[in-house]
Amino acid sequence: MTLELEYIGNTTIPLELQGVTPCRLREMSLPEIEQIEVYHGKEIVPLAEFFKISGDLADEQMCFSGDLSGVHWIGWKMESGSIAIMENCGRHLGSEMTAGTITVQGSASDWVGAEMRGGLIHIKGNAGHQVGASYRGSSIGMNRGTILVHGDVGNELGLTMRRGLIAVAGKAGDLIGFNMRAGTIMLFGEAGIRHGAAMRRGTIVFMGVDHPPLLPSFKYACRYQPEFMQLLLRNLKAFGFPVADSAVDATYDLHHGDMIDGGRGEVLLRVS
């Protein structure tokens, strides 16, 4: 069965669900789950004060219903199982997770998948700033795993990213792949400015018609059809990510950079 958590709260004070994951709760009884302590602002309250809880975790599946826009840290340090969110949710979704799957039918806020180490986060709506990023003062952001966003995202997508894949079907703000170390970021919509600044390795792919301006520290290399892109795009389609059939055999302009940091990063601009 699935553990069902229906949000019944009525508050503007943030609610934090750190540790409420299938791997932590799977050995608990329903009364024990209801008494798990969570933060409501500065207060510590039982989970049942804000959620009507039913079902069980025999299959390590959790389902959240209701508007969770003010509920944060869902899936923090998740290690296994699946979490389904039927509407919107708050900040830090899936941050530091190492395995498992999180799906969101609505939108999420900032810091989705921050410093994640594995697993899949699939958002059907929008996401906020710092998707797949490192926290302030940390040297490594997303280090494995996959983040798929069907809508738009904010600034600093993939900040200090080390490994993994981020694909965004909509628009993005500024500073994609800033300080990037490795991994792959794909954007299908419009973007802001200063992408790839200080990147050392990794690949940023702009699939849209209107390409953003590149920094002068990036140099044009060639025009070609990378074989890995065909495989990557087919895999995205298999996840239900919106990829046009015409994109699979596309041609790209390759740029190397950031030359200030060695020039081993790649920016691909789709041209056909």
SS3 sequence of the chain: CCEEEEECCCCCCCEECCCCCHHHHCCCCHHHHHCCEEEECCEEEEHHHCEEEECCCCCCEEEEECCECCEECCCCCCCCCEEEECCCECCCCCCCCCCCEEEECCCCCCCCCCCCEEEEEEECCCCCCCCCCCCCCCCCCCCEEEEEECCCCCCCCCCCCCCCEEEECCCCCCCCCCCCCCCEEEECCCCCCCCCCCCCCCEEEECCCCCCCCCCCCEEEEEECCHHHHHHHHHHHHCCCCCCHHHCCCCEEEEEECHHHCCCEEEEEECC
What is the reported pLDDT for 148? 98
More confident residue, 221 or 272: 221
Whole-number average pLDDT of the chain: 96
Reference 102, options 125, 87, 81, 117; nearest CA is 81
Q: Tell me the pLDDT band of 113, cut-offs 50, 70 and 90.
A: very high
Tell me if 257 is assigned to some domain: yes
Work out the average pLDDT over 137-145: 94
Tell me if 61 is assigned to some domain: no
Tell me if 185 is assigned to some domain: yes
More confident residue, 108 or 246: 108
Work out the average pLDDT over 22-37: 95
**37 has pLDDT over 90:** yes
Q: CA dihedral in degrees (106, 186, 111, 89; nearest 10)?
A: 0
Total domain count for the chain? 1
What is the reported pLDDT for 241? 97
Tell me if 51 is assigned to some domain: no
What is the reported pLDDT for 90? 98
Q: How far apart are CA 204 and CA 185, in angstroms?
A: 5
Tell me if 177 is assigned to some domain: yes
**72 has pLDDT over 90:** yes
Q: Tell me the pLDDT band of 1, cut-offs 50, 70 and 90.
A: confident
Q: How far apart are CA 250 and CA 229, in angstroms?
A: 9
Tell me if 17 is assigned to some domain: no
Q: CA dihedral in degrees (26, 238, 98, 168; nearest 10)?
A: -120
What is the reported pLDDT for 39? 98
More confident residue, 272 or 179: 179
pLDDT tens across 147-183, in order?
999 999 999 999 999 999 999 999 999 999 999 999 9
Tell me if 235 is assigned to some domain: yes
**9 has pLDDT over 90:** yes
Work out the average pLDDT over 4-14: 96
Its domain, for residue 137, covers 110-270
**80 has pLDDT over 90:** yes
What is the reported pLDDT for 31? 96
Work out the average pLDDT over 54-76: 96
What is the reported pLDDT for 173? 98
Tell me if 68 is assigned to some domain: no
Q: Which amino acid is at 173?
A: G
